[in-house]
Chain A
Amino acid sequence: MGILNPIIRWKLHLRRPQFRHGVAGLAALFLCHSPLARYAQASPSEYSLKAAFIFNFAKFVEWPESAFRLKGEFCIATLGRTPLDRELAALSGKSINGRSIVFRQLNTPEETAQCQVLFISRSELAKVERVLDLLKDLPVLTVADREDFCRKGGMLALEKEETRLVFDVNYRETQRAKLKVHSQLLRLARKIYGRP
Chain B
Amino acid sequence: MAFSHVPNRDSVNNRYSGRPLRFLILASFLLIPGVVSALGAEGNEMLELPLEQLLDVSVVSASRKSQSLSDVTSAVFVINQEDIRHSGATTIPDLLRMVPGVQVASIDGNSWAVSIRGFNGTFANKLLVMIDGRTAYTPLYGGVFWDVQDTLFDNIERIEVIRGSGSTMWGSNAVNGVINIITKNSLDTTGVLLTGLTGSRERGTVEARYGAGIGDRATYRFYLKHVDRGDTFTDTPGAADFLRITRGGFRADGSPTDRLNLTLQGDAYGGSVGNSATITSFSPPFSETLNQPTDLFGANILSRLDWLQSDASKFSLQVYYDRTDRKRAIITEGRDTIDVDLQHNLSLGQSNELTWGAGYRFMQDQTSSAGGAFVLTPSSRSDLLLNLFVQDEITLLPGMLRFIVGTKLERNDFTGWELQPSARLLLTPRKGYTAWAAVTRSVRTPSRSDNDVRFNLAVIPADPLSPLPLPSVVVALGNPQLKAESLLAYELGFRADLNEKLSLDTSAFFNHYRDIIDAGPLTPFVEGGTQVTIPYVFHNLPGYDSCGAEMSLQWQLRDWWKLKGGYAYIKFLESGAVNSLGVKATPNHQATLRSLFALGRDVDLDFWGRYVGANSYPLLSGIADIPAYATLDARLAWRPLAGVELSLVGQNLLERRHLETVSDLTEARHQVERTVYGKASWAF
Contacts and interface: CB of A to CB of B under 8 A. Distances in A.
A55 to B, nearest CB: 5
B24 to A, nearest CB: 9
Nearest to B20: A41
A11 B382 CA distance: 39
Contacts of B55: 164-166, 188
A1 B307 CA distance: 27
A165 B57 contact: yes
A6 B34 CA distance: 12
Q: How extensive is the interface on chain B, given as a class?
A: 35 or more
Most buried by B among A36, A37, A160: A36
Given A5-B215, A11-B35, A42-B310, A27 B315 contact: yes
A81 interface: yes
Given A15-B32, A55-B47, A123 B213 contact: yes
Interface residues of A, number: 67
Given A42-B23, A46-B258, A60-B51, A125 B309 contact: no
Contacts of A40: 23, 27, 309-313
B16 A123 contact: no
B13 interface: yes
Given A10-B256, A28-B31, A126-B189, A41 B215 contact: no
A3 interface: no
B312 A87 contact: no
Contact of A49 (B10, B59, B189, B254): B59
A46 B26 contact: no
B237 interface: no
A86 interface: yes
Interface string A24-59: 100110110000110111111111110111011000
B41 to A, nearest CB: 5
Interface stretch (B144-152, B216-224, B417-425, B611-619): B216-224
A83 B216 contact: yes
A99 interface: no
Interface of A: 1, 5-7, 10-15, 20, 23-24, 27-28, 30-31, 36-37, 39-49, 51-53, 55-56, 60, 80-83, 85-87, 89-91, 94, 122-127, 129-130, 133, 153, 160-166, 184-185, 188
21 contacts: A5-B215, A6-B217, A7-B217, A31-B309, A31-B313, A36-B310, A39-B346, A39-B349, A40-B309, A45-B59, A48-B44, A56-B50, A56-B54, A94-B47, A123-B211, A126-B189, A126-B193, A127-B642, A127-B683, A133-B642, A185-B51
Given A20-B32, A28-B31, A31-B309, 13 more contacts: A15-B34, A27-B315, A36-B348, A41-B17, A43-B59, A44-B16, A123-B188, A123-B213, A125-B188, A160-B61, A165-B55, A184-B51, A188-B52
Counting from the closest, the 4 A-B pairs by CB-CB distance are A40-B310, A6-B215, A81-B216, A11-B34
